[in-house]
């Protein structure tokens, strides 16, 4: 199975900051990676698919990049509603696997 390792596991930041979350795959997954946001008590929300394509309706302050084994999710100018947990998902091969999550907290 492909292992997905996210870093950091948690992150403290302030409104207006720029943050970057990393996801590393245990093998090449091309660009077969999605990013999800999960706010406390809510269902996950698709932010980015195919590593860098913004899902419809998602604010442009979110962006994704990477290919192969290393991927990043960047959030520019953090807003209060962005404080949540973020997960990556590889779908290069089954079983698909999520990263362990990155909890973004208010500083």
Partner 1 sequence: QLVESGGGLVQPGGSLRLSCAASGFSFSSYWMTWVRQAPGKGLEWVANIKEDGSEKYYMDSVKGRFTISRDNAKNSQYLQMNSLRAEDTALYYCAIGMRNYVHWGQGTLVTVSS
- 49 vs 83, beta carbon nearer partner 1: 49
- 16 vs 40, beta carbon nearer partner 1: 40
- Region binding partner 1 by CB under 8 A among candidate stretches 13-21, 34-42, 64-72, 73-81: 34-42
Sorted by sequence, the CB contacts under 8 Å of residue 22 that are 6+ apart come out as 6, 7, 70, 71, 72, 73
End-to-end CA distance of the chain: 36
Do residues 55 and 47 touch, judged by C-beta distance below 8 A? Answer: yes
- 16 vs 95, beta carbon nearer partner 1: 95
Contact flag: residue 37 with partner 1 (CB under 8 A)? no
Give the footprint of partner 1 on this chain (CB under 8 A).
1, 32, 34, 36, 38, 43-44, 46, 49, 55, 85, 87, 89, 91, 94-101
């Amino acid at each position: 199975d492909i292992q997905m390792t996210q870093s950091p596991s948690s992150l403290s930041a302030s409104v207006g900051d720029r943050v970057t979350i990393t996801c590393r795959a245990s093998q090449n997954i091309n660009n077969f990676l999605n990013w999800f946001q999960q706010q406390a008590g809510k269902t996950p929300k698709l932010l980015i698919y195919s590593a860098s394509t913004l899902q419809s309706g998602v604010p442009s302050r979110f962006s994704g990049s990477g290919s192969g084994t290393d991927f990043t999710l960047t959030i520019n100018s953090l807003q209060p509603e962005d404080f949540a947990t973020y997960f990556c998902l590889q779908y290069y091969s089954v079983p698909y696997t999520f990263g362990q999550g990155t909890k973004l907290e208010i500083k």
